[in-house]
Amino acid sequence: NLPRKYTANALARELLEIVPSTQFDFVYLPWDSAAPTNLGYAFVNFIDVAAAERVRQAMDGQSWRLVQSLKVIRVLPAYIQGLKANMVHCAAHIEIGSASRHRPLIFRNGECMD
């Protein structure tokens, strides 16, 4: 239930309020190719189950902090697990030449890799 104007960077900022960047390595919001908005959901890969559970407990059922929205946060486990599997899935769905803001954020040792 992401606000449609949210970006991966905005979601990462929300996550950083709960866990350090060393606890996740992938943040991706699929974008609508016909409109300048995300599709309303995201993929986040956490380093371990404990980090995912901390985020779920802190965010699930809450309101978004960075924008005013009536949408309530829902945190659910994904059927795709692991950095490599997320990258493969994402690569199959991103249009070549898409804007950098539409690409996933990849983190290594807490640093966002551009």
Give pLDDT tens digits for 31-40: 887 888 899 9
Is the pLDDT at 13 greater than 90, yes or no? Answer: yes
Confidence at 44, pLDDT banded by 50, 70, 90: very high
Give pLDDT tens digits for 48-104: 999 999 999 999 999 998 888 889 999 999 888 999 999 998 887 776 556 566 789
Contact 84, 93 (CB under 8 A): no
Model pTM score: 0.88
Structure confidence at residue 15 (pLDDT): 96
CA of 54: how far to CAs of 1, 10, 23, 68, 90, in Å? 18, 19, 10, 23, 25
Structure confidence at residue 49 (pLDDT): 94
Structure confidence at residue 99 (pLDDT): 59
Pair type for strands 105-108 and 43-46? unpaired
Contact 26, 86 (CB under 8 A): yes
Structure confidence at residue 96 (pLDDT): 57
Structure confidence at residue 100 (pLDDT): 63
